[in-house]
């Protein structure tokens, strides 16, 4: 889809809502007759600054006042399908346009609906009709959030990610066309590009939008966003002017976020968690196309464990370990092979860690929750050193219920520390939900799509 498609979604007008400041600088002497005038001017200036701040900031206070005086909100809806490699998800959104006086209208997220089904769309490569039906069933579950009379004007967008990017082009195209033909009959606004394989850069930019929208950071000090799917992973963060020369120009995008800012985003295919796990196992087998793997990253107690990846079933066994092998040695042996895979798969290695605070989602969250590093419901903050400690424990534990814990945790450390240059003690915030809303690139896509629609309406 490329850079053009990203700009198509992000053609928002600049938001000219910079705060106004009133500075009163006077040289008044101390005679009493001037004292009351001086106090009056200070109060006037303070009040002026306060109310200008209300107007330019479009605060909830001012919007609430408008509603109490009879302002009726305008609502917009959007339905997004995330057709990922490990499953498909529907995310339906209801947005409200708050009352504005100056500047461009914004959007408040009022409600959302989330539902997931497995396996992913790519699993139906040989049965496109059945794959399309799984998408339809998800859309139907979300119908209640969009009023029937608004369905024709509600964008319905399907974006497939790394699962379809890894398929042969003709097979992927057949799946996309079948889904497009099927959902066109559902009564939503499905544009000519309503069903597509998403470019990795779009995936990164939209998850960055989502994280920063949900934390109300757009236009301020933003967070870097790390997303880890099954087939690919994305890193996205705001670039400082002095750092732009350190990153490829093809990975830099100017996007509206208060003022226009420059983002660096890169998507690494075959470095999603499941793809990396398969890649490590296969590399240990000398890159042979076999369905049986023996791995040093799997405990020897695990033998002939079945695992399915890319519609193919594999048999995994743990490699023998010398008697009395210490925990650190087990970890180092696995880290060496994982590092080798990551090094040969990275097509660009950042020279420094992302600027600012870091947020991580998807498998970063799930693996940490499985390891007991965060609460599975609320998330939390984790350091690289915490991932490493958990990896050392997992690599020397005979845990048949979590046979891939060692390789997955070692991969987290390798990706975060060795590839992304994140320091051992730096805290990474792990999110699945923020204020009850799913942290998904789908929100960023829905938000920018609706904003483009609002912006284009006066011209039409």
On whether 231 is known to bind a ligand per the annotation, the reply is yes
Q: Which two tokens stand for residue 7?
A: 């700009």
110-190-134 Cα angle (round to 5): 85
Q: What is the dihedral of CA 323, 327, 333, 338, to 10 degrees?
A: 140
Torsion sign across C-alpha atoms 184, 193, 255, 418? positive
Catalytic residue among 112, 143, 149, 203: 203
On whether 122 is known to bind a ligand per the annotation, the reply is no
Angle between helix 327-345 and 273-284 (nearest 10): 100
On whether 234 is known to bind a ligand per the annotation, the reply is yes
21 contacts: CB under 8 Å, gap ≥ 6:
49
* Residue 231 and residue 85 in contact, taking contact as beta carbons nearer than 8 Å: yes
- Helical spans, DSSP H, in 184-288: 200-214, 273-284
On whether 232 is known to bind a ligand per the annotation, the reply is yes
On whether 230 is known to bind a ligand per the annotation, the reply is yes
241 contacts: CB under 8 Å, gap ≥ 6:
none
Give residue for tokens 């302002």.
Answer: 71
Strands (E), 50-142: 74-83, 88-97, 108-117
* Catalytic-residue membership of 203: yes
Q: d(Cα 269, Cα 110) in Å, to the nearest integer?
A: 34
* 171 CB-contact burial (10 Å; exposed 0-12 / middle 13-18 / buried 19+): middle
Q: Is 93 helix (H, G, I), strand (E, B) or coil?
A: strand
Element (H, E) at 177: helix 169-183
Binding-site residue numbers for ATP are 230-234
Residues classed as catalytic: 203
């Amino acid at each position: 889809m490329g850079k053009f498609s990203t700009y198509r979604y992000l053609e928002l007008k600049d938001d000219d809502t910079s705060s106004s400041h009133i500075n009163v600088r006077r040289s008044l002497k101390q005679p009493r007759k001037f004292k009351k005038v001086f106090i009056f001017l200070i109060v006037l200036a303070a009040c002026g600054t306060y109310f200008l701040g209300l107007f330019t900031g479009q605060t909830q206070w001012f919007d609430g006042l408008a509603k109490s005086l009879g302002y009726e909100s305008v609502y917009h809806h959007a339905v997004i399908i995330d057709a990922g490699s490990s499953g498909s998800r529907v995310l339906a959104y209801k947005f409200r346009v708050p009352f504005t006086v100056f500047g461009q209208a914004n959007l408040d997220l009022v409600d959302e609906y989330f539902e997931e089904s497995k396996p992913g769309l790519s699993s139906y490569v040989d049965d496109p009709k059945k794959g399309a039906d799984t998408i339809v069933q998800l859309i139907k579950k979300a119908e209640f959030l969009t009023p029937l009379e608004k369905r024709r004007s509600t964008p319905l967008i399907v974006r497939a990610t790394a699962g379809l990017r890894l398929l042969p082009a003709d097979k992927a195209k057949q799946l996309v066309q079948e889904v497009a033909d099927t959902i066109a009959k559902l009564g939503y606004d499905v544009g000519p590009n309503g069903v597509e394989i998403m470019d990795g850069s779009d995936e990164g930019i939209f998850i960055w939008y989502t994280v920063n929208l949900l934390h109300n950071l757009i236009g301020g000090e933003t967070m870097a966003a790390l997303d880890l799917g099954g087939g690919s992973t994305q890193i996205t963060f705001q670039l400082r002017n002095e750092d732009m020369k350190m990153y490829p120009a093809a990975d830099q995008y100017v996007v509206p976020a208060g003022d226009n800012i420059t983002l660096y985003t890169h998507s690494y295919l075959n470095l999603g968690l499941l793809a990396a796990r398969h890649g490590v196992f296969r590399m240990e087998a000398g890159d042979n196309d076999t369905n049986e793997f023996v791995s040093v990253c799997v405990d020897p107690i695990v033998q002939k464990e079945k695992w399915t990846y890319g519609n193919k079933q594999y048999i995994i066994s743990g490699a023998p370990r010398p008697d009395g092998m210490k925990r650190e040695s087990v970890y180092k042996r696995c880290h060496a092979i994982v590092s080798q895979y990551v090094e040969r798969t990275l097509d660009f290695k950042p020279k420094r860690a992302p600027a600012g605070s870091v947020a991580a989602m998807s498998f970063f969250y799930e693996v940490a929750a499985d390891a007991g590093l965060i609460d599975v419901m609320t998330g939390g903050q984790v350091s690289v050193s915490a991932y490493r400690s958990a990896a050392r424990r997992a690599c020397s534990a005979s845990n048949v219920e979590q046979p891939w814990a060692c390789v997955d945790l070692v991969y987290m450390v390798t990706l975060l520390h060795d590839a992304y240059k994140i320091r051992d003690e730096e805290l990474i915030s792990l999110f699945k939900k923020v204020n009850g809303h799913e942290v998904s690139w789908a929100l960023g896509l829905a938000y920018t799509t609706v904003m483009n629609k609002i912006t284009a309406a006066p011209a039409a």
